[in-house]
Chains A and B, each alone.
Chain A
Amino acid sequence: LAKSCPGQETVTLYLRGVALRGRRPRPAPPSTSPPPASTSHPIKQEDNLTETRLVSHSQITRLYSRFTSLDKGENGTLSREDFQRIPELAINPLGDRIINAFFPEGEDQVNFRGFMRILAHFRPIEDNEKKSVAVSEPLNSRTNKLLFAFRLYDLDRDDKISREELLQVLRMMVGVNISDDQLGSIADRTIQEADTNGDNSISFNEFIKVLEKVDVEQKMSIRFLH
């Protein structure tokens, strides 16, 4: 019972954040609630916290219980093994990449705050959020969503997707029926589509540009349950 873990502290902070944000009549679902970061000045000093904030109290508590249930070591942080225990991730072609995305560089533990930080990327953007001029760009902005996606490719963090990196992802994504040759030419062609400066790799700006027609806001959003 005496599980005093860092995660618990964070979650109380979250709860405070929610409480301070003003007494909204009800824990509104994502589509109707107005929680832009700029309007919540009481907790401005915890800026990074408001960023990672999901919408409602109940969502946070639910995710926290999920976090603890994943945390088999019961030390308040998740390790890679904890993630890998999720059976569905084993059959997800990108499972390992996504697990990796949870871990900051060089670390192999993630606490609840980090966990939420990643999940916050997937919060849908709301109407009033689009208009409001946030002090710091929220994690669920289009750019940040794309950056998250970009990082899935960019393993060496040089802010470029090289042909090799692209090939690796392609290999994960396509079936075994496609030969390496074909895959290679697909990779070449994909790079060509995006590559504007001719360095045979895709920079983040090129990545944004080539996906500018894609409705990223919708395709990279999840309704977190309450």
Chain B
Amino acid sequence: MQRCGRVPLWLLGSVLLIRFTSGISAVDRDVQQTRPDSRPEPPSESTPNQSHADHGHGSSAVGGIPVVTFKWHHVETPYQVALWILVAGLAKLVIEANHHVTNVIPESALLICFGFILGGIIWGADKVQTFKLNPTVFFFYLLPQIILDTGYSMPNKLFFGNMGAILVYAVIGTCWNAASLGLSLWGCHQGGAMGDLDIGLLQYLLFGSLIAAVDPVAVIAVFEQVHVNEVLFILVFGESLLNDGVTVVLFNVFDAFVSLGGARINAVEIIKGIISFFVVAFGGSLLGLVFGLLISLLTKVTQKVKIIEPAFVFVLGYLSYLTAEMLSLSSILSITFCGVSCQKYINANMAESSVSTVRYVMKVFANGSETIIFVFLGISAIDTEIWVWNTGFILLTLFFIFVYRIIGVFFLTWILNRYRLVPVEFIDQVIMSYGGLRGAVAYGLATLLNESKIKEKNLMICTTLLVVYFTVILQGITMKPLVNWLKVKKAAVSELTLIEKLQSKVFDHMLVAIEDISGQIGHNYMRDKWNQFEERWMTRILMKKSVRKSRDCVFKVFHQLNLKDAMSYVAEGERRGSLEFVRNESAFIDFKKKFVDDCSGAMPDITACMSDDYSAMSSMSRIDQVPSVSLEMHEQNMKGVRETEDINTHHLLQQHLYKGRKQHRHRYSRSHFNVNKDENEVQEIFQRTMRNRLESFKSAKMGVSPPKKISKHTKKDQQQKVPNGKSTENGKRYFSGDEDFQFPEGDASGFAASDGSHPFPMTYRAGAGIENPAYIPDLDPMAAEIPPWLAEYDAGPVAPSQRAQLRLPWTPSDLGRLAPLRISTRSNDSFAQADAPAAQQKDDEPPTPSKRDGRNM
């Protein structure tokens, strides 16, 4: 409630800010208007400004040294830009502060309304609309990053899986919308429904083409908040993305026709128009692909300049847009395909920090421009100049847009459903036709119209704006209730599980095999061929060798799950206050980034979910510091946590945590975050600790401690705290050199290490007769390191790490415990029995048979 109280304050603040900017520009205009004499002749028009600015400079030279000078004109444009960005940001902040409002009304609609208010204020101050959405600004500075972001975070498999349908909707659907709207309006005009308007058939078609396209910005803004099922989402979203390209092409073609004049259009020109349509669309896409490959190639070699690595992605992406624009190809398609084609390779090639930077910056840009676009769409409305009312034209446009969208969607889906494996359901079709939101692209195109050729430009702008408001605000608001009411299949919140991943792979292979057997070249066959091609050529050329090796789907999921467990483990440790190092904020964030990176293949939603998890986790971990409470919670939570932690995870965690530690040494460098690696020092500390630990280890119980001592340990926690923190630190320091994230080697060496430094577990393992010798050759001297959780369990371990060992059938030290665990699910007695001998250090035979039982079951 207090938050709500603050909202007006925010509003007031931003309003004041607006007053300030507009006030200044008003003053500025006053300055210009007070010299009406200088207006008529153009050359002298710039003089007042010039002299003004010069004055600012000059005064410092002539009239002594002024302490402060006010040089508004010096900074005017960038200052205004910055202020507008700030205002848009504040607007978003205000809107986001009211969750109960954004639940009902989509953000985009609220932003437009906010724009109305701002526009009203500005208009009230200036009596003229000073700020408008300028097509140059829109197409060159606001749109590219949004499209790049959508392309970059496109769920590729889904997108290409439904490519056929998307293309049909985007190309045929858009053409249908444009043509039908243009012709119908023209027909109505001929029928006299609109009174006296100076619009010809071609102009109507031009208008139809500019307003035909569903707008990606608006669609994302609305559909993001309604979690419809992924197929429906990708259909609407993919359509909106691709049809922008189509609509721009159509617009250009018709624009050319209009300039040509109706009389001179013959069959040749029309054919040329159609050809140019295809050239522009496919050329743009191809150009984007080329740029995407270029980015991929470039990121292959940029590991030396990690810090500017992300910039390449943005610059080349933007260049693909500009190049397409230059060649008069479809720039939107170009940048879309640039993002789509490069995402996989750059995510693999770049360092994970760069990947998360790209991801994050991309979102910042896209979200920022989206906000600005909507605010300006609102502001642009408050302008008396463009309000030309023609009831017939406007209402008929709204009506036709709505109706033809529905007809188009249903007809095309009817055709598509005959060929689709899983038909698009009726309800989905309703949502698709209702989701035909128009947006800023249409407005941008409308403002591009040439007034000398199209007399009713303002009417068209006005109608476009109304259509945008109508669709974004009204349809946007009603979308969610409609989705709920129609019970549209929502996106399932899928929990990542290994078996699902494995099974989906199995399904893929199975389908390909069945297609092969039945001798048909179907969808799966094509996909398989493409995968093979990609594996053989694309990946080889575009991906770094090191990453190429360590890619496997199932393994990746395993890896992610482990990370997740590690996070809950860390949160657990944090809660208990025993893992000091986790407090290191940057470390945790570092870790989290990695985690998010790993979800690169997943849908953005999932990633978002995970980051939510993360924030929940981190906030939770910071809250409870009360030991008594945390003890309780710990007990509970440990039971809840699935018993899946293992050494890999912790080891991994270790490596990542270390980086954060390094960052804490304050040394400024523009190009490197972590420059100080005093290897010798690190080595020394490490050796010393290891020696000490070995001593203590030998004298102690030889590391086979009974697993179920959690409650006891938590009581001992206070004492453990200090050594625990220390040793982990050492471990971390040691692993500093290991910049690359190499899971397999890492964990193998970890185990090897425990073998090497403790002869006892080694013999123990031999006695157990494990049949898998895979890790023996891994005895790597470099890795003479005991992961702290391993090293410490003689002293009384942190509970989770002990759990972790339970889960490892292949660590020497846990072989004995594997069996007790398995048995323990049935009987506590055998569990205790198996443990008792284990605790008596020397006796390692008893667990062996039981372990083998457990194995052979």
Residues on A lying within 8 angstroms of B by beta carbon are: 29-32, 62-63, 66, 69-70, 83, 86, 88-89, 91-95, 98, 102, 119, 122, 124, 127, 149, 152, 169-170, 173-175, 177-182, 184-186, 188-190, 192-194, 198-202, 210-211, 213-214, 216-225
Contact = CB atoms under 8 A, between A and B. Distances in A.
A185 B648 contact: yes
B421 A124 contact: yes
B422 A218 contact: yes
B550 A177 contact: yes
A210 B497 CA distance: 9
Nearest to A198: B825
A210 B499 contact: yes
Given A185-B646, A198-B825, A89 B515 contact: no
Interface string B472-511: 0000000000000000000010110111101111110111
B417 A31 contact: yes
Which of A94, A169, A198 has most chain B Cβ within 10 Å?
A94
A66 B774 contact: no
Given A31-B420, A222-B522, 9 more contacts: A94-B506, A102-B517, A149-B506, A178-B555, A184-B772, A213-B495, A219-B507, A221-B421, A222-B518
A175 B552 contact: yes
A181 B774 contact: yes
Contact of B419 (A29, A95, A152, A201): A29
B629 interface: no
B506 A152 contact: yes
A149 B513 CA distance: 13
Contacts of A218: 421-422
Contacts of B528: 88
B810 interface: yes
A62 B520 CA distance: 10
A181 B558 contact: no
A179 B554 contact: no
A184 B506 CA distance: 18
A190 B509 CA distance: 19
Contacts of A174: 552, 554-555
B737 interface: no
Contact of A194 (B499, B522, B561): B499
Contacts of A91: 532
B513 A220 contact: no
Given A122-B511, A186-B498, A225-B522, A211 B503 contact: yes
Contacts of B509: 92-94, 98, 173
Contact of B511 (A170, A186, A220): A220
Contacts of B822: 200
For the complex of A and B, the 4 pairs showing the least CB-CB separation, nearest first, are A66-B519, A88-B516, A98-B513, A180-B774
B131 interface: no
A224 B518 contact: yes
B744 interface: yes
Given A211-B503, A213-B492, A119 B555 contact: no
A211 B502 contact: no
A176 B507 CA distance: 21
Which of A219, A222, A225 has most chain B Cβ within 10 Å?
A222
B507 A193 contact: no
B192 interface: no
Given A89-B516, A222-B421, A170 B554 contact: yes
Contacts of B517: 70, 83, 86, 89, 98, 102, 119
A54 B318 CA distance: 51
Contact of B504 (A92, A127, A181, A219): A219
Given A170-B554, A223-B421, A214 B513 contact: no
A152 B423 CA distance: 28
18 contacts: A31-B417, A31-B421, A88-B528, A92-B509, A93-B509, A122-B511, A149-B503, A184-B809, A185-B809, A188-B807, A190-B502, A210-B497, A211-B503, A213-B495, A216-B507, A218-B422, A220-B511, A222-B514
A185 B423 CA distance: 40
Contacts of A180: 772, 774
A189 B564 CA distance: 14
Contacts of A66: 518-520
B744 A223 contact: no
A27 to B, nearest CB: 12
Contacts of B550: 177
Contacts, number: 178
B511 A222 contact: yes
Contacts of B554: 170, 173-174, 186
A28 B676 CA distance: 71
Given A193-B498, A214-B500, A214-B504, A182 B518 contact: no
B123 to A, nearest CB: 53
A63 B498 CA distance: 35
A160 to B, nearest CB: 11
B552 A222 contact: no
Given A32-B417, A185-B648, A193 B499 contact: yes
A117 to B, nearest CB: 13
B304 interface: no
A95 B772 contact: no
Contacts of A86: 516-517
A202 to B, nearest CB: 8
A6 B154 CA distance: 51
Given A98-B513, A152-B510, A194-B499, A182 B555 contact: yes
A189 B644 contact: yes
Which of B511, B528, B561, B822 has most chain A Cβ within 10 Å?
B511
A194 B510 CA distance: 21
A203 to B, nearest CB: 13
B775 interface: yes
A149 B518 CA distance: 18
B670 interface: no
B825 A31 contact: no
B807 A63 contact: no
A219 B231 CA distance: 13
A17 B809 CA distance: 55
Nearest to A217: B422
A32 B511 contact: no
A119 B505 CA distance: 19
Given A214-B500, A221-B421, A189 B558 contact: yes
Given A173-B506, A182-B555, A88 B748 contact: no
A214 B492 CA distance: 10
A119 B514 contact: yes
B503 A177 contact: no
B99 interface: no
Contacts of A216: 507
A184 B808 CA distance: 9
A45 to B, nearest CB: 28
Nearest to B419: A29
Contacts of B417: 31-32
Contacts of B495: 213
A178 B644 contact: no
A173 B505 contact: yes
Given A89-B517, A152-B510, A182 B744 contact: yes
A62 B519 CA distance: 9
B487 to A, nearest CB: 16
Which of A29, A194, A214 has most chain B Cβ within 10 Å?
A214
Contacts of A173: 502, 505-506, 509, 554
A99 B549 CA distance: 30
Given A175-B552, A177-B744, A198-B826, A193 B497 contact: yes
Contacts of A89: 513, 516-517
Contacts of A29: 418-419
A170 B809 contact: no
Nearest to A175: B552
Nearest to B775: A181
Contacts of A210: 497, 499-500
B857 interface: yes
B512 interface: yes
Contacts of B422: 124, 217-218, 221
